């Protein structure tokens, strides 16, 4: 019952604080927006690849440059980028004001975009490929860059995404900024709906500074913080970038600002098996890079399922009083789901809300199923040291001790 009460209270506060935060960031700024560098590692050409590139090139931000990193020029991403931009193999930099677009006809490039660099990082050996890509890309940070921002290729980008992500830094409320994803089913498989419902319970935890973590899909830090913490040094040997960055900035007493209304719709299409292992991969990284979050997740999900089983077991054993917690939880689940749905209506388009209807149903009426699967995902990572991610198998011994042990051959 305490968990149910907290879930309702947290959902209610999330909505209210989101409205207040958006109002704060709608006020005029005293100083100009700071120049930003945006780093994007990409592997493979996903279904939303062209749309994502369009989003990168059309951000409503007055001064930014892009560094897009691939592991190899044999990656299909490399040729796809060369086709979309007027670049030939071997070229590294495209300057919009000097060369018109070719592959993305009809696109008006942001006047604030100064250049796009395609960086070929090479293959990783003693870190994850993503970390290797990021360290390589950070060599192209410029002295004039006052914000260092990062994005992943599995999100949708509206033209105001970068501006909104950087609001906590530009408004000087926080030196580090992030948001999170909301998994949106692309097909009506129930594994997708359940994954979305589980993800929603995690997503709406964002906001209170004590529990904020950075998310790799969208995060940024002020240049002075980047220089102070020496981020590349903490990345060396790591598997994970975002949770490692959160760890480093917290060690330096830097607060992380969570942009609530910027929640990114992220398309998913899972089977039951792939859904479970997707969640497993997330918690494998959480166990290493944010162990207190892993422990809290394990305890909270276990006791919810345990309480559900014992309450119903007591009722069927003749303890009518067990109907009290069962009834209270049924009401609190509805209250929590209503608050969560109110926030979703403010954050997402009607198209996405339609895709999320079944997930919202599960959130209301099948909460225990989500908690059970969530618990199994967390518990299954106990003691694990190997992870396969994007075709590469790693052995991870500690926060900065990662080794590549197997790499699938390129398709």
Estimate the crossing angle of helix 357-365 against helix 367-379, to 10 degrees. Answer: 90
Q: Can you tell me the distance from the alpha carbon of 390 to that of 74, in angstroms, rounded to the nearest whole number?
A: 15
User: For residue 97, what is the DSSP state?
Assistant: T
CB 116: neighbour CB atoms within 10 A? 24
Average pLDDT rounded to a whole number, residues 105-126: 92
How many Cα atoms occupy the beta-carbon half-sphere of 396 within 13 Å?
28
- Quick: pLDDT tens for 67-111: 999 999 999 999 999 988 888 888 899 998 877 776 677 788 999
Which architecture characterizes domain 23-271 according to CATH? Alpha-Beta Complex (3.90)
Side-chain half-sphere of 284: how many Cα atoms within 13 Å?
20
**Residue-level pLDDT at 296:** 95
pLDDT for the residue 104? 77
405 or 47: which carries more pLDDT confidence?
Answer: 405
Q: Tell me, what's the pLDDT at 85?
A: 87
Q: Hey, is 405 helix, strand or coil?
A: strand
At 383, is the pLDDT very low, low, confident or very high (cuts 50, 70, 90)? very high
Report pLDDT digits (tens) over 229-280. Answer: 999 999 999 999 999 999 999 999 999 999 999 999 998 999 999 999 999 9
User: Across the strands, what pairs with 177?
Assistant: 220, 257
Mean pLDDT of the chain: 94
pLDDT, position 410? 62
Nearest to 254 by CA among 292, 296, 234, 224: 224
CA 174 from centre of chain: 19
Angstrom distance (rounded) from CA 25 to CA 293: 29
Enclosing H/E stretch for 164? helix 161-165
Strand partners, 66: 38, 116
Lowest mean pLDDT among 40-54, 91-105, 155-169, 298-312: 91-105
What is the DSSP annotation of 171-237?
A: TTS-SEEE--EEEEESS--HHHHHHHHHHHHHHTT--SGGG---BTTEEEEEHHHHHHHTHHHHHTT
* Residues paired with residue 119 on neighbouring β-strands, in sequence order: 69
Where are the chain's structural domains?
A: 23-271
Q: Give the model's pLDDT for residue 98.
A: 77
Q: Rounded to an integer, what distance in angstroms lies between the CA atom of residue 134 and that of residue 42?
A: 11
Beta bridge partners of 401: 398
Taking alpha carbons only, the member of 201, 173, 341 closest to residue 259 is 173
Q: Are strands 218-222 and 147-151 parallel, antiparallel or unpaired?
A: antiparallel
Tokens matching residue 164: 């909104």
Q: Is the pLDDT of residue 411 over 60?
A: no
pLDDT score, position 90: 86
Which helix H or strand E contains 36, and what residues bound it? strand 36-41
Asked if the model's pLDDT at residue 409 lies above 80, the reply is: no
Question: Per-residue pLDDT tens for 338-357?
Answer: 999 999 999 999 999 999 99
């Amino acid at each position: 019952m305490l968990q149910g009460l907290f879930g309702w209270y947290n959902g209610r506060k999330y909505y209210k604080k989101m409205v207040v935060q958006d109002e704060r960031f709608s006020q005029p700024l005293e100083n100009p927006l700071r120049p930003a560098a945006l780093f994007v590692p990409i592997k493979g050409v996903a279904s939303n690849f062209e749309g994502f590139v369009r989003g990168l090139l059309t951000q409503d931000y007055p001064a930014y440059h892009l560094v897009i990193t691939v592991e190899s020029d044999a990656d299909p991403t490399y040729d796809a980028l060369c086709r979309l931009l007027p670049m030939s193999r071997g070229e590294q930099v495209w300057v919009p004001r000097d060369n018109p677009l070719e592959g993305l006809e009809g696109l008006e490039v942001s006047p604030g975009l100064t250049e796009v660099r395609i960086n070929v990082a090479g293959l990783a050996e003693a870190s994850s490929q993503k970390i290797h890509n990021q360290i390589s890309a950070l060599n192209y940070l410029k002295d004039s860059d006052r914000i260092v921002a990062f994005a992943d290729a599995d999100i949708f980008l509206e033209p105001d995404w970068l501006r909104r992500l950087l609001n906590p830094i530009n408004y000087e409320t926080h030196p580090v900024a992030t948001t999170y994803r909301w998994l949106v089913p692309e097909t009506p498989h129930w594994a997708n709906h359940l994954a979305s419902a589980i993800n929603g319970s995690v997503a709406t935890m964002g906001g209170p500074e004590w529990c904020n973590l950075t998310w790799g899909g969208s995060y940024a830090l002020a240049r002075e913080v980047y220089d102070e913490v020496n981020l590349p040094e903490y990345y060396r040997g790591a598997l994970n970038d975002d949770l490692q960055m959160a760890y480093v900035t917290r060690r330096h007493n830097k607060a992380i600002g969570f942009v609530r209304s910027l929640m990114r719709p992220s398309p998913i299409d899972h089977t039951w098996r792939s859904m479970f292992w997707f969640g497993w991969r997330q918690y494998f990284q959480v166990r290493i890079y944010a162990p207190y979050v892993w422990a809290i997740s394990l305890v909270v999900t276990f006791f919810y399922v345990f309480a559900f089983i014992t309450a119903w077991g007591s009722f069927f054993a003749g303890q009518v009083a067990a109907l009290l917690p069962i009834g209270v939880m049924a009401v609190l689940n509805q209250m929590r789901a209503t608050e969560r749905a109110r926030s979703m209506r403010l954050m997402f388009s009607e198209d996405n809300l339609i895709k999320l209807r079944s997930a919202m149903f599960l959130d209301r009426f099948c909460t225990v199923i989500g908690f059970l699967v969530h618990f199994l995902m967390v518990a299954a990572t106990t003691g694990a040291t190997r992870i396969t991610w994007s075709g590469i198998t790693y052995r991870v011994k500690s926060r900065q001790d990662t080794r590549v042990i197997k790499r699938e051959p390129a398709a």
